Structure 1
Amino acid sequence: MKKFLAFAAAAALSAGVAVAQDQEGPSPEELLERAPDRAWRTIDPENILVIDLPSGPVLVEMRPDFAPKHVERIKTLSRQGFYNNTIFHRVIDGFMAQGGDPTGTGKGGSDYPNLQGRFVTAREELSEYVPIGRDDRASDIGFLGTMPVASQTPSMKEFLKTEEVGAWPMHCPGVLSMARAGDPNSANSQFFIMFGDNRRGLDQQYTAWGRVIDGERNVRRINRGEPPERPTPILRARIMADLPPEEQKTVEALRAESETFKAWLRANRLITDDGFLVDSCSVHVPVRIDGEIG
């Protein structure tokens, strides 16, 4: 994450952008350490997917409030052991790692029917969406939990036929989305994990349903190739709520609406004085696990 922050700050300075900062204030790390308990949100263990890779575990916050059917499918298949010992069969450096096919060929799926795509939804339906700024691609950028989301501004309502302001997850690094064929309603069991920023090519075209909140380093160690010479397997995929008590962890995320998060953004030079996000995809909501900040 530090590399992302350094890149964002450098990009802003080179572009002559006035980045919000407080040189005499506390560091980003100090802000998180001092954050009151009310600034943290406990993530429901029912909505945490645990993917065990050879390099270690990956924790994903799933967002059923945006993609209820897709999250339900992931939970069902994980609980059935469907993903265990499947491989990442298509892995493109700087782009994404695709898996979830029991045949390992990219042509397989589960016995369940395909899912209807969920690409954009009415912002009003996302009660936990928190706007934090804007960037050069969207007039409104915010978070649904830890998932980055772009949106039209509420003021657009008077210009829209449906009077529903649209919102959609952004395909940033660490975001998980459903793979599909040419038919937009052909998602089934396969999914991919983003390595890079591909908002321009994937947003509003694929159903994103979660984001990695711990274990990014383990994701980066997935072997590349189409297919890889030595495909990386998913050893197990489980739901945190189902783990034995001794394996369960308390996972908390910083509330995007909190003053601590706003101050953290400014301290990291990720947002300008007038609310412009220098690099939206580099903003990862801070997380702490069993009281320890990652």
Structure 2
Amino acid sequence: MFAARTTIRLAAAALAWLAAGAACAAPAKAAQELPPKASLADVIKASKPSDWRPLDPENTIYMDLPTGRVVIELAPGFAPRTAANIRALVREKYFDDLFIIRSQDGFVVQWGDPDEEKPKPFKAAKTIQAEFTAPMASVGGFTRLKDGDVYAPQVGHVNGFPVARDPSSGRAWLAHCPAMVGVARDTGADTGNGSQLYVVTGHAPRHLDRNITVVGRVVSGMPLLSVQPRGLGAAGFYEKPEQRMPLRLVRMAADVPEAERSRFEVMRTDSATYQAAVEAQRNRGGPWAKFATGKIDLCNAPIPVREQK
């Protein structure tokens, strides 16, 4: 009797196992198609003039390379002393005829003076107190993302710049997202004065947040920087002078004749239209997208820029 009952139980278990295997082998049902939704391009097309702001010429830098123009917007609300020193360096033409000196794969492109033994002199300040963070109350309106973040309690945007902040300390800081411009420094916190700058060209190195002064972002010309050949020296520095691309002219937009200025506008990140732009990326609709993530990362939240002709 015991043996018979055991045989029946084993047979039942075998049938259940075979049924489970058959279910696994059966072709999965096609995923339900996502309904069409407005794309980022649709949101931009439907935007109003009031959804955009022009760049401030006094905080806009034109860095002309042999291959074209790079446009940088400074963020003096987060780094006022450093931004002022960079403007002073530009106006005394310090950067003219210097070089792109470093291109580290998947990381940054850096420019400045490659000569450490006989560096190019300048009149601007040699030492600037580090501006890794700023008081939340002093940086302007904050548009928060609801999605959360690994590196900070809150993330969002201030005036078009990606920002992280910690309400418990009352501090905010610019995040190391692609296209953000930072101030190169040595070991000492106060050793970055703006005479060497870098731009993030690869995956967002957010571990650098609150360790380096971030002073702005590239709003146009990133392909000219990210296409630079990779340096083979330590940390991507170029080992041979002929590998470095020269900076032809570097000027504040305010000092360039109006007819020669680039006319870029940035979408206002405190606008309802920008919220729609984020939502279009957070939950992409069909037919191409098959799955809507329902989330967006700070560094993947688009900040649209357009040029007025």
- Contact 2:180 2:200 (C-alpha < 8 Å) held by counterparts: yes
The CA deviation at 1:198 is: 4.3
Q: Tell me what 1:117 maps to.
A: 130
The CA deviation at 1:113 is: 2.4
After TM superposition, list the pairs within 5 Å mapping 1:58-69 onto structure 2.
58-69=70-81
Higher-Rg member (1/2): 2
2:299 aligned with 1:288, yes or no? no
| Cα distance between partner residues in 1 of 2:38 and 2:238 | 47
SS of residue matched to 1:241: helix
2:62 aligned with 1:57, yes or no? no
Residues 190 and 116 from structure 1, CA distance in 2 versus in 1: closer, same or farther, beyond 3 angstroms?
A: same
Residues 179 and 276 from structure 1, CA distance in 2 versus in 1: closer, same or farther, beyond 3 angstroms?
A: farther
Q: TM-score, normalised by structure 1?
A: 0.80
- Contact 1:90 1:228 (C-alpha < 8 Å) held by counterparts: no
Q: Tell me what 2:180 maps to.
A: 175
After TM superposition, list the pairs within 5 Å mapping 1:1-294 onto structure 2.
23-101=35-113, 103=115, 110-111=122-123, 112-133=125-146, 134-152=148-166, 154=167, 156=168, 164-188=169-193, 189-225=195-231, 226-227=237-238, 229=240, 230-269=243-282, 277-290=295-308
Amino acid paired to 1:227: Y
SS of residue matched to 2:224: helix
- Contact 2:180 2:214 (C-alpha < 8 Å) held by counterparts: yes
CA offset digits 1:194-214 (Å, max 9, x no partner)? 112344431101000001111
State the identity %. 29
| Cα distance between partner residues in 2 of 1:102 and 1:200 | 26
SS of residue matched to 1:118: coil
Residues 95 and 199 from structure 1, CA distance in 2 versus in 1: closer, same or farther, beyond 3 angstroms?
A: closer
Residues 107 and 139 from structure 1, CA distance in 2 versus in 1: closer, same or farther, beyond 3 angstroms?
A: farther
CA offset digits 1:147-168 (Å, max 9, x no partner)? 211112x4x3xxxxxxx41111
Residues 117 and 195 from structure 1, CA distance in 2 versus in 1: closer, same or farther, beyond 3 angstroms?
A: same
Q: TM-score, normalised by structure 2?
A: 0.76
- Contact 1:101 1:109 (C-alpha < 8 Å) held by counterparts: no
- Contact 1:89 1:227 (C-alpha < 8 Å) held by counterparts: yes
| Cα distance between partner residues in 2 of 1:198 and 1:24 | 30
- Contact 2:109 2:226 (C-alpha < 8 Å) held by counterparts: no
- Contact 2:95 2:247 (C-alpha < 8 Å) held by counterparts: yes
| Cα distance between partner residues in 2 of 1:106 and 1:98 | 19
| Cα distance between partner residues in 2 of 1:137 and 1:120 | 14
Q: How many residues align?
A: 258
> What stretches of structure 2 of length at least 5 have no aligned partner?
1-33, 232-236, 285-292
| Cα distance between partner residues in 2 of 1:105 and 1:262 | 50
> What stretches of structure 1 of length at least 5 have no aligned partner?
1-21, 157-163
SS of residue matched to 1:103: coil
| Cα distance between partner residues in 1 of 2:141 and 2:246 | 34
Residues 268 and 200 from structure 1, CA distance in 2 versus in 1: closer, same or farther, beyond 3 angstroms?
A: closer
Residues 261 and 56 from structure 1, CA distance in 2 versus in 1: closer, same or farther, beyond 3 angstroms?
A: same
